[in-house]
Amino acid sequence: MQMKFPLLAVFLGLLTAFPAHAQTTGPDAQENSLNAWKRQVSIRLVSERIYPRNSPAEGGAAKVLLVLDRTGKLISSALVESTGSSELDAAALAMVEAAAPFPEPPAEIDESSLHLTAPIVFRAKTMLPMSGSLPPTESAADQAKVGTKMRSICRGC
């Protein structure tokens, strides 16, 4: 008899979970899933950001057009707005290539290819408080190796 109560509690807990799940199918839920997907794409991009060694210290902001297929595969990318620095512009486009493939878009999106414009911001390099020099930077190759190793360990976390 003691075994039935924990099972009953689990069963009742599952029943109370279903109505909450059923309420997430409206237009707000579709907008939320689209926003969640855009956040995932943004996080994926930021995870591949590398500040080029020979770029200007003041940083910059670029806008890159991404064209993705239904599976999140990068079809093409193009610079829409320049940072004013060829090094940062090249880094922004390289960042997009390195971040591919992207998460699969939500099922609510009907298009066969998706066009997103992503802002990519390179913050100004700052000086360390007491050193009087710029912080040490790793080479792009070293950062790429670390990124590859993290992706092999983490697998999408």
What is the C-alpha separation between 126 and 68, in angstroms, rounded?
35
* Residue pair 80/118 in contact by the 8 Å Cβ criterion: no
What is the C-alpha separation between 52 and 50, in angstroms, rounded?
6
pLDDT, residue 101, reads: 93
What is the C-alpha separation between 46 and 118, in angstroms, rounded?
11
**pLDDT above 50: residue 65:** yes
Report yes or no on whether pTM surpasses 0.85.
no
Kindly compute the dihedral angle of the four CA atoms of residues 24, 26, 31, 37, in this order, to the nearest 10 degrees: 40
Average the pLDDT over each of 45-49, 104-108, 137-141 and give the range with the smallest value: 137-141
What is the C-alpha separation between 79 and 88, in angstroms, rounded?
11
What is the C-alpha separation between 135 and 123, in angstroms, rounded?
13
What is the C-alpha separation between 140 and 144, in angstroms, rounded?
6
**pLDDT above 50: residue 132:** no
pLDDT, residue 39, reads: 92
